[in-house]
Structure 1
């Protein structure tokens, strides 16, 4: 599965790098935990709510705490696809050992590899590869973050499927 959402530019900074790196990694980890938490929720109620006219912003409001467009739109679309496809989210996941690979005053890049068990159908078969199916595996990628009103948020990302991290 490859999910690109754009790119960002970097500049230099005079902010204490260790403190800023920790804040960036914490924001990235919180974003990914929030996304996986929503994925692990049952699809039945979310699907019924979507059919009834609820929006992704209403169903998954915490995503906006950690993602901004275009990444926010991409993750909302992904979640809608999983829920409308009647797929179960990954039962387990491991965020690996992400690193801040670029850091500037208001932008950062996190590089890492996430492993999860993949999405499955109600019969336990792997979901479509476009919706994180295909069985257990990893996805290596880069995530661009921006400092928005004092909080680091994911603005874009690009991931590529790998057999293992």
Structure 2
């Protein structure tokens, strides 16, 4: 009797949990060409980008341009899978993931040097901080100005 009652309850709990997780990631902004509209839709994103700018020096517009170019503001995006024999889903070409499309090795460096073990590539706060950290590191290593988004983006790749 308990088992019959427990199964639907666990199924409902799992469904609610999954639905709740899906709701945590905001939909991509409607107008991705206008950063002011993006911040109107997601005011906390401005706070996170500003915090990263204050910490690392990368301008807010540069951070947002990187995220738009890398993920189109989709939090859980990954590179498409390669196909085996033309139709069987196979491996992905890289470990890039999240808003900033950070790959595993450099994300691990970020966690060790600047982030925390709780940092997630799917959270805009951590993605903007990662981009700021990465660009500050690029500036230190190569001398590329933090106000030169084109060269910073080339170094990002």
TM-score when normalising by structure 2: 0.29
Higher gyration radius (CA): 2
Higher normalized helix content (fraction of residues): 2
Structure with larger RCO (C-alpha < 8 A, sep 6+): 1
